[in-house]
Amino acid sequence: MSQLIEPVARLIDALARLPGVGPKTAQRLTYHLLRAPDIEARALAAALIAVRDDVVYCERCFDFATGPLCLICSDPARDDSRLCVVEEPLDVLAIERTRAFRGRYHVLHGAISPVDGIGPERLRIRELIDRADARASVGSPIDEVVLATNPTLEGEATAMYIAERLAGRVGAISRIARGIPVGGDLEYADEVTLVRALQGRQLVEGAAER
């Protein structure tokens, strides 16, 4: 690498630490930021500082929040009887975009992974159990917990562990379907996914009744 003036080298270095940003992209972004309108560059710096200063975890679901409760937990219109368990805050966004779930969430902040030394105690599982018990203790147990951890080894293990812990504490426990993605190609699906797609097959409505 050729010589660079210190502030430029420092910004390239800081940007290159971001996920998916290689040294070439970091360099391109730096040179863009050097010449962008002053207000644009400073707005980015200010926004960055603001998320660090003003964002905390929701006391109830552990999604990001600016007060004690996140936007979803403080929304009275959401369905209290259903709880969706996800690994990361980004997963909440993904499910929210579908508009197919109107219940509440619980963010674990990871998945059980013995290889990486992440046991259940490192995740927000204790708090999830407590949430279920608190609801049951006031006579309105959660009707359904949807386990929406990733369909990976870690996500499956986490779902299994949570299902065992929640058994008897909530009405029903479900797991999101695993199968061929919509628009996907059977021919290119891996074997494990295909097995899951077969196992999870559903009767075609109407056809069974004929």
Closest CA to 34 of 59, 55, 15: 15
Smallest gap from Cβ 4 to a second copy, in A, equals: 8
Cα(105)–Cα(7) distance, integer angstroms:
42
89 near a second copy, rule: CB under 8 A: yes
Site for a second copy in 105-144 (CB under 8 A): none
* Of the candidate residues 22, 23, 59, 66, the single one contacting a second copy (CB under 8 A): 66
The region of 26-34, 78-86, 134-142, 186-194 touching a second copy under the rule CB under 8 A is 26-34
CB atoms within 10 A of CB 84: 22
102 near a second copy, rule: CB under 8 A: no
Interaction pattern, residues 28-57, with a second copy; x per rule: CB under 8 A: xxxxxxx-x-x-xxxxxxxxxxxxx-xx--
* Of the candidate residues 78, 96, 113, 196, the single one contacting a second copy (CB under 8 A): 96
Smallest gap from Cβ 210 to a second copy, in A, equals: 41
Residues touching a second copy: how many (CB under 8 A)? 56
Smallest gap from Cβ 138 to a second copy, in A, equals: 28
In the chain the first and final C-alpha atoms are separated, in Å, by 72
Are residues 176 and 156 in contact, defined by beta-carbon separation less than 8 angstroms?
no
Cα(128)–Cα(112) distance, integer angstroms:
15
Is 209 exposed, middle or buried, given 0-12, 13-18 or 19+ CB atoms closer than 10 A?
exposed
Query: DSSP for 84-101?
Result: EEESSHHHHHHHHHHT--
59 near a second copy, rule: CB under 8 A: no
71 near a second copy, rule: CB under 8 A: yes
CB atoms within 10 A of CB 159: 23
97 near a second copy, rule: CB under 8 A: yes
18 near a second copy, rule: CB under 8 A: yes
